[in-house]
C-alpha cells in the first residue's frame, strides 16, 4: 500500500510570511497611531502666536493725578513681558519646573517614562512629568482632569505650540498664566500680592519662594504655612544651584533673608471707594461685565487724590463735630451721613466725590443716588430767572406776611426761618438773608412755568413740582445736580456736563473711549456775574458767613429743609465749585437749628481750606456789559443827595435805577 506523500513546504511562502507579517503589524501600528492621533487631536484648540493669548486681565482705574485707585477682575492678572520680570525669577521657575526647557521640543520623554513607572508601581497617577509647555496646554487649552487621554492631548498640543512659538514666547505665556495662590495669576500679580512690589524688583529669595508655589499654591502658601513654603524655597534654590544659576553663597544668603510679606491692599475700598464704584457702574452699564472684569482696560479719570483725601477728612471732621453737639455714640445704629462733590466748573472734571461716611458699611452713594430736597440752596436759580426777567439786585420786594388759599378752604401761610418780616428790602438783601416770603413773591411774579423751564438750562432734568413751594427748594435733587447748577454761575453762564472718565484704553493700548468737556451756554455772562456777586454777599454777611474764613473771594448758599432734615452748602471760588450735604438716610431731623450754615458749611470750609491753600488767590472776573453804580440800599434808587447812605451795586448795562424824586407833598 502506497502512503500519500506530504506536500513540501515552499521556502518562498515562508519568507513572504516572515516579511509580510511584520510589515502588516507596522502598518497596523502606524494606522492605529494615525487613527489615535486624529481621534485625540480632533477639535483641539489652536495657539499660533502670543496674540492668540487673551486671558482675563485686571481692569485698572487711575486718578487724574496718575495714582491707581481701583481694580476690577475675575482673575487678578497683569500681563507682563520677559524684560519686565527679574531674570532671577525666570531662572528659578525653569529650575523648579523644567530644567531641560531649552533643550526639549515640548515633551521630556525621560521625565514621562520616570513618571509612568512611578504611577504604574503606585497604581494611581501621582506624577505627571510635564514640561512647562505641557503645563501651558493643560492650563490654557485643556481641563485639569488626570487621565491618560488628557495626557495624550497635552503632548499633541505641546508639540504644536513648540512649532508655532519661540521658547521666549512660551515662557511669557507661562509666567502670565500660572496660579500662585491668594487670587494671583501670573508673576506680576504674585509679586504685588505677596511682596507689594513689581515682578521686576524681586530678590533671589522672593523669586525662589514664588517659583515654588505653582506646584501646590494652597499647600505651600507662605501666609498660612511658612515652614512648608521655606522648605519648598530651599528646594528651588538647590535646583538653581545644580543648574549653576546661583552660587552656594547666594543660596545660603537667600535662605537666611527675611521675607517681608505685605497684605494686599483693597484699594477699591480705601482710596476713593464711592468714586471708584461710580466709575464701575458707568463702565459696566456701557460695555458690559465681561469687558469690565476681564478685558484689562485702563480707565483714566478726573479724580484728584489729594482733594479726595481732603474731602474724606472734612466729612469726618464735620460729622464728629455734629455728634459732639448731640452727644451721639459712634456705635449708634442710626448715624448721620454726609456727601461732598468738588468739580472744575470749566471742564466738568469731578475732582472729589464722597458718598457717605463709611463705604464698608453702605455702598449707597449719597452724592449721586440720594435725591433730597435742596431747600434754600435752590433759591439762586429762582433769583437768576428773575434777573433775566427785569429784576436787578436793587429791586425792592416787600418782606411781609402772605397767605394762599389751598383746597378745602385751607390757607398756606409760608414764613421766614426767623418768623420775622423786614418790610421793603432789596433783592440782594433778600437772598443774603434767605427770606422765604420774598422768594415766593418773586416766583409768583415771574411765573412757575418760566422758572421750571429756566431750571432746565442748569442741567436739572428731574421732575420739578409746578407750584409756589418750588421757591423753597422742595424738588428732590442730587448733590451732583446742585453742584453742576452752581458751576454755571462760576463759569460765566456756561453749563458743563460733569465728567468722571477722560479715557479708556484696551489691553493693547488702543483707544476705546475719549471724553472732552461738553459745554452749553445756559445764561448770559452778565446774569451769571450778578448772581455770583449776590452769592458773595451770602458769604460776607448772610447765612453762609461762616465760610468767609476762607479769606479769599468765594460765593455760595446755604440750604435747609423742613424740620432740619437736610443741610446743604453749595459754593465756589473762581477755580472750584463744591457742594456738601448732611442728613439722615431715613429723613430724620438733624436737630433744632442744625441748618446748612451750621452743619454743612463747616465741612465745605474745611475741605476748601485744604485744597485751595496752594492755589493763587483770584478775583471773580467782571464781564463786559456789567456796570457799577451807587444806590440807596433802603430805596434801591440812585441817591438824591450826598448825605444819603449809599452802596455800590452791580447792574446789567442799561438797568441802573434813576434817582427817586418825591413830589412837593413828600410822596
Tell me which residues are annotated as active site.
97, 376
C-alpha cell at 21: 507579517
Task: Give Cβ neighbours of residue 518 (< 8 Å, ≥ 6 apart).
Answer: 348, 496, 497, 499
Phi/psi region, residue 375 (left: phi>0; alpha: psi -120 to 50; beta: rest), is: left
C-alpha cell at 6: 506530504
C-alpha cell at 537: 454777599
User: Residue 607 phi/psi, 5° resolution?
Assistant: -65, -50
The kind and range of the H/E element at 338 are: strand 337-343
Packing angle, helices 436-446 and 379-387, rounded to 10? 50
- Contact between 489 and 346 under an 8 Å Cβ cutoff? The reply is no
If you ran DSSP here, which 8-state letter would residue 257 be given?
Answer: S
Packing angle, helices 187-195 and 167-177, rounded to 10? 40
Q: Which ranges of 359-466 does DSSP label H, i.e. alpha helix? A: 379-387, 427-432, 436-446, 448-456
What does the CA dihedral 104, 110, 115, 121 come to, rounded to 10 degrees?
Answer: 170
Number of C-alpha atoms within 13 angstroms, CB side, residue 57? 18
Tell me which residue of 424, 421, 448, 454 sits closest to 436, measured CA to CA: 421
C-alpha cell at 620: 471773580
Question: Exposed/middle/buried for 184, CB within 10 Å: 0-12, 13-18, 19+?
Answer: buried
User: Residue 423 phi/psi, 5° resolution?
Assistant: 75, -150
CA dist 439 and 346 (Å) reads 29
- Contact between 347 and 515 under an 8 Å Cβ cutoff? The reply is no
Q: In a 3-state reduction of DSSP, which class is residue 61?
A: strand
If you ran DSSP here, which 8-state letter would residue 145 be given?
Answer: -
Packing angle, helices 448-456 and 436-446, rounded to 10? 90
C-alpha cell at 163: 512649532
Amino acid at each position: 500500500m502506497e502512503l500519500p506523500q506530504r506536500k513540501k513546504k515552499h521556502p518562498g511562502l515562508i519568507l513572504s510570511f516572515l516579511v509580510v507579517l511584520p510589515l502588516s503589524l507596522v502598518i497596523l501600528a502606524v494606522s492605529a497611531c494615525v487613527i489615535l492621533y486624529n481621534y485625540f487631536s480632533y477639535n483641539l484648540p489652536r495657539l499660533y502666536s502670543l496674540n492668540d493669548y487673551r486671558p482675563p486681565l485686571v481692569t485698572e482705574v487711575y486718578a487724574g493725578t496718575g495714582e491707581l485707585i481701583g481694580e476690577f477682575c475675575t482673575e487678578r492678572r497683569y500681563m507682563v513681558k520677559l524684560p519686565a520680570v527679574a531674570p532671577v525669577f525666570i531662572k528659578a521657575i525653569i529650575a523648579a519646573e523644567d530644567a531641560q526647557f531649552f533643550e526639549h521640543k515640548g515633551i521630556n520623554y525621560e521625565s514621562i517614562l520616570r513618571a509612568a513607572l512611578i504611577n504604574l508601581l503606585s497604581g494611581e497617577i501621582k506624577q505627571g512629568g510635564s514640561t512647562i509647555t505641557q503645563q501651558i496646554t493643560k492650563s490654557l487649552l485643556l481641563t485639569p482632569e488626570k487621565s491618560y487621554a488628557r495626557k495624550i492631548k497635552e503632548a499633541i498640543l505641546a508639540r504644536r505650540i513648540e512649532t508655532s512659538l519661540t521658547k521666549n514666547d512660551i515662557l511669557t505665556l507661562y509666567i502670565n498664566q500660572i496660579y500662585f495662590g491668594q487670587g494671583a495669576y501670573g508673576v506680576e500679580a504674585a509679586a504685588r500680592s505677596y511682596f507689594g512690589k513689581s515682578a521686576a524688583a524681586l530678590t533671589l529669595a522672593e523669586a525662589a519662594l514664588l517659583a515654588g508655589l505653582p506646584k501646590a499654591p494652597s499647600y505651600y502658601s507662605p501666609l498660612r504655612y511658612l515652614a512648608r513654603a521655606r522648605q519648598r524655597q530651599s528646594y528651588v534654590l538647590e535646583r538653581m544651584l545644580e543648574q549653576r544659576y546661583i552660587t552656594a553663597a547666594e543660596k545660603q544668603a537667600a535662605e537666611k533673608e527675611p521675607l517681608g510679606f505685605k497684605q494686599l491692599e483693597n484699594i477699591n475700598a480705601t482710596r476713593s471707594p464711592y468714586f471708584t464704584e461710580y466709575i464701575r457702574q458707568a463702565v459696566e452699564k456701557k460695555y458690559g461685565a465681561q469687558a469690565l472684569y476681564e478685558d484689562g482696560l485702563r480707565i483714566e479719570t478726573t479724580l484728584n487724590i489729594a482733594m479726595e483725601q481732603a474731602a474724606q477728612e472734612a466729612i469726618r471732621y464735620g460729622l464728629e463735630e455734629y455728634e459732639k453737639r448731640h452727644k451721639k455714640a459712634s456705635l449708634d445704629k442710626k448715624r448721620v451721613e454726609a456727601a461732598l462733590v468738588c468739580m472744575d466748573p470749566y471742564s466738568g472734571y469731578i475732582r472729589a466725590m464722597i458718598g457717605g461716611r463709611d463705604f464698608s458699611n453702605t455702598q449707597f452713594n449719597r452724592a449721586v443716588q440720594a435725591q433730597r430736597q435742596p431747600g434754600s440752596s435752590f433759591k439762586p436759580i429762582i433769583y437768576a430767572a428773575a434777573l433775566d426777567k427785569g429784576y436787578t439786585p436793587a429791586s425792592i420786594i416787600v418782606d411781609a406776611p402772605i397767605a394762599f388759599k389751598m383746597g378745602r378752604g385751607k390757607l398756606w401761610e409760608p414764613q421766614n426761618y426767623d418768623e420775622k418780616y423786614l418790610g421793603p428790602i432789596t433783592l440782594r438783601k433778600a437772598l443774603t438773608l434767605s427770606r422765604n416770603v420774598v422768594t415766593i413773591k418773586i416766583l409768583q411774579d415771574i411765573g412757575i412755568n418760566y422758572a421750571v423751564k429756566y431750571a432746565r438750562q442748569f442741567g436739572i432734568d428731574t421732575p420739578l413740582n409746578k407750584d409756589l413751594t418750588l421757591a423753597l427748594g422742595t424738588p428732590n435733587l442730587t448733590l451732583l445736580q446742585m453742584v453742576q447748577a452752581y458751576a454755571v454761575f462760576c463759569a460765566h453762564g456756561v453749563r458743563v456736563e460733569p465728567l468722571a472718565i477722560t479715557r479708556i484704553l484696551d489691553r493693547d493700548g488702543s483707544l476705546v473711549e475719549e471724553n472732552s468737556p461738553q459745554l452749553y451756554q445756559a445764561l448770559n455772562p452778565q446774569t451769571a456775574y450778578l448772581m455770583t456777586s449776590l452769592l458773595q454777599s451770602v458769604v460776607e454777611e448772610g447765612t453762609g458767613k461762616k465760610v468767609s474764613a476762607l479769606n479769599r473771594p468765594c460765593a455760595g448758599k446755604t440750604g435747609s429743609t423742613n424740620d432740619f432734615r437736610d443741610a446743604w452748602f453749595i459754593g465756589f471760588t473762581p477755580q472750584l465749585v463744591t457742594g456738601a450735604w448732611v442728613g439722615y438716610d431715613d429723613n430724620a431731623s438733624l436737630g433744632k437749628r442744625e441748618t446748612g450754615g451750621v452743619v454743612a458749611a463747616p465741612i465745605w470750609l474745611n475741605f476748601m481750606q485744604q485744597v485751595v491753600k496752594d492755589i493763587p488767590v483770584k478775583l471773580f472776573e467782571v464781564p463786559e456789559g456789567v456796570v457799577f453804580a451807587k444806590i440807596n440800599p433802603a430805596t434801591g434808587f440812585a441817591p438824591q443827595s450826598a448825605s444819603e447812605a449809599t452802596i455800590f451795586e452791580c447792574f446789567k448795562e442799561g438797568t441802573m435805577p434813576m434817582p427817586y424824586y418825591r413830589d412837593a407833598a413828600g410822596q
